[in-house]
Structures are given as C-alpha cells and as structure tokens.
Structure 1
Amino acid sequence: MIRYGYMLLALFILLVLPACASNYKEQKASNSTNKIKAPTSFEQLTFKSEGRTVFEDEGKFILIEGSKCVQHDSGEETATVLQWIELPSYVDRGTVVLNGWDLRFLHGDREVNSMLADITHSKVIKSEGSTFLVFEAQGRLNDQNRKDAYEFCVFYSGFGFRSVFFDATIEDDYNGVEVSTLQDKNQGALATLENTGSRGTLKGNATIAIIPRGFDFQFDDTFECEWRFPPCKWGDRVDYRLLQAAYSLSQSGMFPSLDGSPHWAVQTLFKDNSTRTYRIKARAAMIRGTSVKLRADFLALNSRTGKTDICRKNVDGIVRTQTFRIRDLPFDYAVPLLTGWDLSYECEQQQVQRAGIWLHDIHFDSNSRSLEYKVSSILRDKDGVPSFSVAQRITVLGLNQTRTSVQSNRAPVNIKIREH
C-alpha cells in the first residue's frame, strides 16, 4: 500500500498539477445543490482502470482496452478523465490510442456549438518494479449558452512491449502533435490539416504509424440574430443543428519523402444543412521503426447538403453495432486504430441528444494472425427520428519482432488472457 501511495503521488505531480486551476473551478461549481459533482483529478487517480487485457504474449507484448465516463453539470468546463493502467513489469515502452468517444446531453437535445474528444497526455511510468500507463482525456459537448449537463465517455486501447524484441520507438507521446486551422465557409465544408515530421525521421526500411489521439470541432463566433434579448450581437457564440460530423486520418508512413520526413493529414466535416465557418484541432502521436507495419485504410469524406428526398421516418435512435474480422495478417501483434468515421442524419439537420462512435471487444489470435473487433455508433435527437448514417475505417498497426530477437528466443509463445 505504501508503494501505491508513492505511485499515486508521482502520477498526481506529473499529470494533474497543470489542471489544478480548472479543477478548482469545477469543484466550486459542483458544490451547489442539484448539480453533478465531477470527481477531482486526485479522486480519479485513486482508482485503477477497469481495462480488459485483450491479448498478452508474456514477457513481450500486451494489449488492453477500456472506457471511462464522466458527467459535467454544464458546458462551461471541459470534462477531464484521468486513467492509470498497471502494466506488466517487462513493459518499457507503451502508449494509448483514442479508439472512440460518446457525448450526450443529459436533459433533452440541443443545437451544437462544439464537440471535443481528445487524449491530451500519455506517459509510461516505471518505479520500484512497477509499470503504469497514465493518460488524460478531455471531452465537451455544448450549445451557445454552455449551461446544459452532459456526459463524456472515452474509449481507449493501450499497448506496451519490451523494447529488446522490437525496433519501435514512440514519438511525441506525452503531449502528442497538435494541428489546427480555421475553415472559412467560403473554402467549403471539407477541411484539411497537414503535418510533416522532421527531416531524417525515417531511415532505411523504417515505417511510421500515426496514432489517433483526438479532435476538437467548434463553430466560429459570428453575428447572429435570434428571438432573445438583446436579439443580435457581434462576435456571439453560435450554435446550429447538426447534419454531419466526420473525421479521417490518412498517413503515408510507408512512402516517406526523399528526405525521410513522414507526412500525415486529417480531413474533417462539421456542418448543418449549410456550410459554416468552424475551428478544428486534431492530435496524434507516432510510432516508428522497422518493426512497425501498417494495414492502412482511408475514409473519403463527402459533404452532404440540405434535405434529402429519401429518408426513413421511423424511430431509430439506438446504438448500432457491427462486427468485423480480418484474417491472415502478416503481423506478430496487431492493434486496431479508429482512423475514420462519418456520422450524419439521414434526412436533414437535427438537434443533438447523443453522438458517438467507438471500437471495442477486440480479439487477436496470434496463431491464425486474425483480428476481430466491434464498432458501435449513435447519432440521435431526443425522439430518435430520423435515423442516422455511419461509415468508419480501421487502420491496423502491426508490430513484428526483429530477426535477432526471434532467433535468440526459441521458447514457445506463452499466450495469456487475463482480466483486470
């Protein structure tokens, strides 16, 4: 117990102190009656993650998945989730993937000003024979008034490995790499954010894989008139009904430029029936090396406009789940990454009660090198009419042992599945 006490103190210092000021505001707001009391950062760190071990090759590699939800009494503050996952002691490198999100207003539906799901920090900590993966996730759903209670759920996959068996280095893990832009409505609804890494990052046969960490969509402040007092205001926060929200991460790590610099891009859509000016941020981390492999898949985004003549008017509004299987992967170990999603109402713009998409129930069989997973999604207003359309893309991150490590380790693979 003493050891865990020191560990919690260390995690608190590393990840929590920068958020102290905002957490103090949250505590003040939540002290009033009939309001949701969001757990403090330290309170969250006192409980270990309930993540599930998907796959473990003991002594070499482990893959874990999990989720965590937190409620907030208003959209004025961003919801923060702090998680720590205990990893086997052999792990000396690891990271976390944003593999889904779920946002919902707790009381009815609203027009939308902003949507956020973002893993802002991640770190592997080793101390006194123990290893922990610690990360911070933030989420937000609000309208222009930012007074409505909401819930944010983050879905994640964490993996760790012993570096002696792999040529794989995780880059920009703690803060990730953030790209942002303002997409003017005159430029069209489809925004493109690009990042080019440092020259010489990729050498020889090395590959780089981009790990999705998050997005932040927000309609830009503008002039708006409504039935209120005062009716019009310059630079006011605005909200709109939602027609479509989409995200697609593409990467060309297998085909670097001549100077060895990797390139990746994110495309987004965030709109109602019309095209609006909106701000976008996206975050990612990277893993590179000759052990890193990719089975990339790209989602082409197409902007929808206005009302369609063909749409279902029946009540839907339920979580939709699909199961996917991939066989004969040329990888020793595989991690699925949710790199593309497109959520839209079937008919036309609607208010939002709940929106989300998440990857879960991962199963990897190292003998047949097959991967199975499920993807669930939801987009609805308060009555669930009309239904919604969804598309998604999964990129598979592969890790292969180096030839040297395979030749020096003749022992049979010891596969162990365990629950946290």
Structure 2
Amino acid sequence: MENPSFASSRKVAVLPRGFGFGWTNDHHLLQIACNVDASETFIAKQRYKKADTEVTPLQSPNGRADAGFVSWNTSAIFKDNDSRRDYMFGELVSGMAGSDVDVLQPAFPILPQDSMGFFGACLGESPGIKTEQITIDNIPYAYAIPMLTGWELSYPCKDHHVKEIGIWIDDLHYDQVPNSGVGTLRYRLSSVLDDTSDNGHAYRHKVSVLELKPLTPPPLPPTRLP
C-alpha cells in the first residue's frame, strides 16, 4: 500500500475491512482462519499481491524504509478433510498514519489441522454461539479501538456442512484510569460455526488495538556524545 503521507509517519496501521474465501466447487469445511500480521513502513524489490495480480513497485535493487509504502503479510487457511485443496482468498484493507497513531499487535500463529479420521479419539464442542468477555489493561493512550485481525474457526473432529458461520466483536468500552496515564479496554467476542446437526466448534482470535494519542510522551532518544 502506498501513500505519500506514510513517509513521515512513525507507524502505519493496516485496518482490515473485509475478506473472502472460495473453492471452485462445493465442499465440507474443517477449518477456516485468517491473520493480518504486523505492518512496517518498508518495501523491498520483490513481487507484492495487488487485487488478482502481482506488482513490483520498487525498481531499485535496495530495499527502502520510510518511502511512502507500508507492507504486511496476511495468512489464511481454508480446508476440509483433504490434506490439500487449492482455494481462493482475498482481503480489503485501509491504512491510517500519523504522529499519534500506534498499534498493539500480538502474535497469532495459524496452522492447518488434520481430521481425526475414522479411528481417532476426539472430544466434541458444544453447538451454538459462543461468547466471552475480554479485558486489556494498562493501555497508555487516550483512545483504544479493538480490531479483529486474527481468528480461527474449526470443527474439532472432522469436516461438516456449514449452516451458519461468523466471528465478531461488539460491546466495546474504553475507560481511562484517572491520574494513571493508562486505560482499560473491554469488548465481547462471539463466534458461531453450525452445521445441520449438533456439531460444535472451536475458536481462537487475535485483537490488535488501534491506539491514538499517547497519554504520556514517548521517551527522548539517548544523547550521543561526539
């Protein structure tokens, strides 16, 4: 992604806006996952994905930092019981930059799982929508916005039909602790992966926090003596 204003920004936040998965034919589903990884204001002389093509925006042999570009990596999984089946994936993102912009980006590895098979031992999950409350303390910014940048939904034993699928966050609250220079973020995570029977699902998620306006100024760089 390129924007001239990125060149003067300390951090560029990549904001997920949408995604899509697809097979050329109808199949059962075992696991689906997506992870938007950390971004950097850096570009190398290599091919980058753009829409349904690949582009090489940098022509010089040397990589460049702070040149108005931001790069990141997005990983995805979309599989049934087969060890391999090709699929299509695409995403939409926006970029936000500025002197008061930062992103808290936890690690979130995703790995393909295998079906337990006919003779495998498996513990099932409860069906229906699953919900939990999440709290993140000690955020040193005036504003904090959770972004669902990583998630995984799966059937624990084998692949099934899909009747309803989704994962989302809502009920967001951010409160500054008086006279502390930090705040507390709370949100609710919900997920569903139902088929035509009573097979439940497992889930994982990652929230990246879009942080705006530091409550305490960043430390000055160390003084270098001649």
Q: Name the structure 1 match of 2:158.
A: 348
Matched, 1:391 2:201: no
Q: Compare relative contact order (CA 8 Å, sep 6+) and give the higher one, 1 or 2.
A: 2
Whichever structure has more helix as a proportion of its residues is: 1
Measure the CA separation in 1 of the matches of 2:121 and 2:11.
45
1:243-283 CA-partner distances (Å, limit 9, x unpaired): 01111001223x64543221112111111011211111111
Measure the CA separation in 1 of the matches of 2:153 and 2:89.
17
Matched, 1:307 2:116: yes
Q: Contact 1:211 / 1:287 at 8 angstroms: preserved in 2?
A: yes
- Structure 1's consecutive aligned runs of 4 or more residues displaced over 4 angstroms after TM superposition are none
1:268 maps to amino acid:
A
Measure the CA separation in 2 of the matches of 1:288 and 1:200.
7
Give the structure-1-normalised TM-score.
0.42
Deviation at 1:318, TM superposition (A): 1.4
Aligned residues: 187
Matched, 1:202 2:7: yes
Matched, 1:338 2:185: no
Give the structure-2-normalised TM-score.
0.76
2:141 maps to amino acid:
F
Deviation at 1:396, TM superposition (A): 0.2
Cα–Cα, structure 1 residues 365 and 272, in superposed 2: closer, same or farther, change >3 Å? same
Matched, 1:288 2:97: yes
| Correspondence list, 1:184-203, <5 A | 196-197=1-2, 201-203=6-8
Measure the CA separation in 2 of the matches of 1:402 and 1:326.
16
1:269 maps to amino acid:
I
Q: Secondary structure at the match of 1:299?
A: coil
Deviation at 1:211, TM superposition (A): 0.5
Q: Which moved more, 1:336-345 or 1:268-277?
A: 268-277
Identity %: 28
Measure the CA separation in 1 of the matches of 2:99 and 2:42.
13
1:100-156 CA-partner distances (Å, limit 9, x unpaired): xxxxxxxxxxxxxxxxxxxxxxxxxxxxxxxxxxxxxxxxxxxxxxxxxxxxxxxxx
Q: Name the structure 1 match of 2:79.
A: 271
Q: Secondary structure at the match of 1:281?
A: strand
Cα–Cα, structure 1 residues 293 and 313, in superposed 2: closer, same or farther, change >3 Å? closer
Q: Name the structure 2 match of 1:250.
A: 37
1:79-115 CA-partner distances (Å, limit 9, x unpaired): xxxxxxxxxxxxxxxxxxxxxxxxxxxxxxxxxxxxx
Measure the CA separation in 2 of the matches of 1:401 and 1:392.
26
Measure the CA separation in 1 of the matches of 2:198 and 2:215.
51
Cα–Cα, structure 1 residues 199 and 300, in superposed 2: closer, same or farther, change >3 Å? farther
Match of 1:318 among 125, 128, 132: 128
What is the Cα-based RMSD across aligned positions, in Å?
Answer: 2.2
Q: Contact 1:207 / 1:292 at 8 angstroms: preserved in 2?
A: yes
Of structures 1 and 2, the larger Rg is shown by 1
Q: Contact 1:273 / 1:307 at 8 angstroms: preserved in 2?
A: no
